[in-house]
Chain A
Amino acid sequence: MLEAILSLTALGIVLGTILGIASRYLKVEGNPLVEEIEQMMPGTQCGQCGYPGCAPAAEGLVKGEAEVTLCPPGGKSLAAALAEKLGVEVDLSKMENKEKALAFVNEDLCIGCTRCFQVCPTDSLLGAPQQLHTVISDICTSCEDCIDVCPTSALSMVPVEKTMQAWHWPMPEKYNKEITL
């Protein structure tokens, strides 16, 4: 009886130690690609892609569930970088950069509830309780998170007007393939 208890205890201790050591040294790390992709994402956790944040989106990308064109704040340049990283073909011409719009506070409606700047991922909303809030449009990521939390609909997305500085020549039209002689 006593021998059985002792030998089984000894066995348990030895095996447990081995398992413990193994779990430390042979630890399976998270897919390093997911981390790399997550580093590339904007990191604002805005959720516009449909995933709850940038890390789950990166996982989705690596699993092949998501398109590389999923991230609106990242735009074409991120899509191109992701396609290169993941080794997939992507037709960027189909992906129109979403028309850039910035958050705007209608000051007649703002009640100073502070909810919007609590959710803003880049601190582009500024305010204090019972004071008018405002947007630093320079750093607004157009994530629209603030729109949903505003109780008085004082926040809206206002499209940015095209300026001459931002304009560039369009791609020339393709030549007419039916050549008439």
Chain B
Amino acid sequence: MEIFNIHGGAKLDGRKSLTADLDIITMPIPDILHIPLQQHIGAPAEAIVNHGDRILKGQLIATSKGLISAPVHSPTSGTVKRIGDFPAPHPSGLPVLTLTLEPDGLDEWAKLPEPLNIETATSQEIADRVSQSGIVGMGGATFPSAVKLNLGQRYKLEMLVINGAECEPYLTCDDRLMQERTEKTVMGIKVMMKALGVPKALVAIESNKPNAFKAMEKECIHDDNISIVHVPARYPMGSEKHLVQALTGKETPAKGMTADLGVVVHNVATAFAVYEAVYHGRPLISRIVTVSGQVIKKPGNYETLIGTPVSSLINMSGGMTDTPKQLLMGGPMMGQPLPNLDVPVIKGSGGVLALNDTEMKDKNVMPCIGCGSCVMVCPVGLLPLDMASRIEHEDVDGADGIGVRDCVSCGSCNYVCPSHIPLVQYFNYAKGRLKEQDIDRRNQDRMKMLAQNRALRDEKTQLALERKRADREAYNAALAKMQTISNTTKENNNTGHNTTNEMDIK
């Protein structure tokens, strides 16, 4: 099959050999689990259990709120210790609402929903099951998967692309998944094809994963509808828009979705989660996490319960030989620095990396020399150096004008910059500021409208009051007039005799 070129990108040192040949090990249940109620893009889930409740494995503990949201389930049986704020695995270290669970070690399953009959199930039923099971995009974006499985209703779709590129260095969780759980993953892919109503699926695997490729190819050898494709190991091949471009030669429009091209992309680990949900009714309560880096004593791939503290995971891997220079959740290119070791593993965490000096880029930032390396590698075709210099001078609108919002924060420009300029941080800063401005503007428009409504209402009330007063005055005047008249008449009556007398006299 023909593979098309993508613009730019960088050839990275994979560093996957640390964990690529190690079997997935299931982590024992940790002493404590911190389960954030927001592990996905969209609205946070709402807790439906209370402090002190005993909950079972797989039990729904928080329901989704709103259209784009995902529920959360209990990873094991135990007692709810606390529902409150706890630091999130996020560079800000800011707290999110988190349910703390003390496992009882029994690992007792709750009653799970019946498996779906894949032959008779409708696409809506599959999407509903995926939605109820709390499945989100496991490549790291954590977009609720059910929403992406329903796209068939709004778009004319031709193809499902399964993203097994795993282009981030170090990470091998998807590689191992494809090798060890091949059959189940392929069954998951078939379920997804049915839900989307697409006739064919492509599984894209980077060429640095020959074993995963062989395993998947063997599994699909009799299936004409699923083809396994080698894509070049070129970062960021795993970015969904770039993967689609490499496979179809078509570029996704700016601010558009791959569905505009008739293609939907799902991660390979998501396909496995869908298999578990549809064939066994099991919600998403664990994932495979690659623990790696020179500082880690025993790197490996661990099947980890959602909510496991990073410290437990690192202890399981034999601990650290030294204080790491950098702790990351995710890959080294797009991963987020961790505020501390207590934060939990969440649905989107593919890796935990502890890196030392030799594995990291020099942090000694120097002035831009205008070499243009960043322009050459930018996979979106932007001008990173130009954008960064505008942002440095607080001209975020100027940066917006040359497309900073289209930046996918892949980090290729950072990687090649000879002056070690943290370009992506500039762009993340600018994107944050632009979002803030949008929200500000929207709020101000609303305030203006509310203030105008209020002013209008006040004016009306004032007018009504004035009218009322005028009416009242008129009424009073009329009343006064009538009274005077009646008084005069009365007086006349009272003094009737006199009058007559006077008249008589006259």
Residues of A within 8 A of B (CB): 42-45, 73-78, 80, 91-93, 120-124, 139, 141, 162-164, 166-177, 179
- Whole-angstrom CA separation of A86 from B95 in the bound complex: 42
Report which residue of A44, A170, A176 has the largest number of chain B beta carbons within 10 angstroms of its beta carbon.
A44
B367 within 8 A of A: yes
Query: Is there an interface contact between A164 and B397, defined as CB atoms closer than 8 Å?
Result: no
Query: Is there an interface contact between A123 and B450, defined as CB atoms closer than 8 Å?
Result: yes
Number of interface residues of B (CB under 8 A): 41
A contact residues around B436 at 8 Å (CB): 166, 168
Query: Is there an interface contact between A121 and B451, defined as CB atoms closer than 8 Å?
Result: yes
- Whole-angstrom CA separation of A171 from B367 in the bound complex: 16
Asked if A172 meets B429 with Cβ closer than 8 Å, knowing A77-B441, A164-B90, A179-B366, the reply is yes
- Whole-angstrom CA separation of A169 from B94 in the bound complex: 13
Asked if A139 meets B94 with Cβ closer than 8 Å, knowing A168-B432, A168-B435, A171-B391, the reply is no
Query: Is there an interface contact between B454 and A122, defined as CB atoms closer than 8 Å?
Result: yes
Query: Is there an interface contact between B451 and A42, defined as CB atoms closer than 8 Å?
Result: yes
Q: Interface-forming stretch among B150-158, B296-304, B420-428, B479-487?
A: B420-428
Partner of A175, one of B38, B88, B96, B365: B365
A contact residues around B94 at 8 Å (CB): 162-164, 167
Partner of B453, one of A73, A78, A80, A123: A123
Query: Is there an interface contact between A139 and B447, defined as CB atoms closer than 8 Å?
Result: yes
Q: How far is the CB of B369 from chain A (nearest CB, A)?
A: 12
- Whole-angstrom CA separation of A78 from B451 in the bound complex: 17
- Whole-angstrom CA separation of A104 from B1 in the bound complex: 64
| Chain B residue at minimal CB-CB distance from A139 | B450
Query: Is there an interface contact between A76 and B440, defined as CB atoms closer than 8 Å?
Result: yes
Query: Is there an interface contact between A44 and B451, defined as CB atoms closer than 8 Å?
Result: yes
B472 within 8 A of A: no
A contact residues around B115 at 8 Å (CB): none
A contact residues around B367 at 8 Å (CB): 175, 177
Report which residue of A76, A124, A164, A166 has the largest number of chain B beta carbons within 10 angstroms of its beta carbon.
A164
Report which residue of A45, A80, A169, A175 has the largest number of chain B beta carbons within 10 angstroms of its beta carbon.
A169
Query: Is there an interface contact between A80 and B447, defined as CB atoms closer than 8 Å?
Result: no
Query: Is there an interface contact between B425 and A172, defined as CB atoms closer than 8 Å?
Result: yes
Query: Is there an interface contact between A92 and B394, defined as CB atoms closer than 8 Å?
Result: yes
Q: Kindly list 11 other residue pairs between chains A and B, CB separation below 8 angstroms, not including A43-B452, A176-B364, A177-B367.
A: A43-B447, A74-B444, A77-B444, A93-B394, A122-B447, A122-B450, A163-B94, A167-B92, A168-B432, A171-B426, A175-B421
B contact residues around A172 at 8 Å (CB): 365, 421-422, 425-426, 429
Q: How far is the CB of A49 from chain B (nearest CB, A)?
A: 15
| Chain A residue at minimal CB-CB distance from B90 | A164
Query: Is there an interface contact between B451 and A122, defined as CB atoms closer than 8 Å?
Result: yes
Partner of A169, one of B429, B448, B450, B451: B429
Q: How far is the CB of B330 from chain A (nearest CB, A)?
A: 15
- 9 A-B residue pairs with Cβ-Cβ distance under 8 Å, sorted by A, are A42-B448, A76-B437, A139-B447, A168-B428, A170-B429, A171-B391, A171-B426, A174-B392, A175-B419
B contact residues around A124 at 8 Å (CB): 450
Query: Is there an interface contact between A169 and B454, defined as CB atoms closer than 8 Å?
Result: no
- Whole-angstrom CA separation of A91 from B440 in the bound complex: 19
Q: How far is the CB of B406 from chain A (nearest CB, A)?
A: 17
B433 within 8 A of A: yes
Q: How far is the CB of A138 from chain B (nearest CB, A)?
A: 9
A contact residues around B426 at 8 Å (CB): 171-172
Query: Is there an interface contact between B391 and A176, defined as CB atoms closer than 8 Å?
Result: no
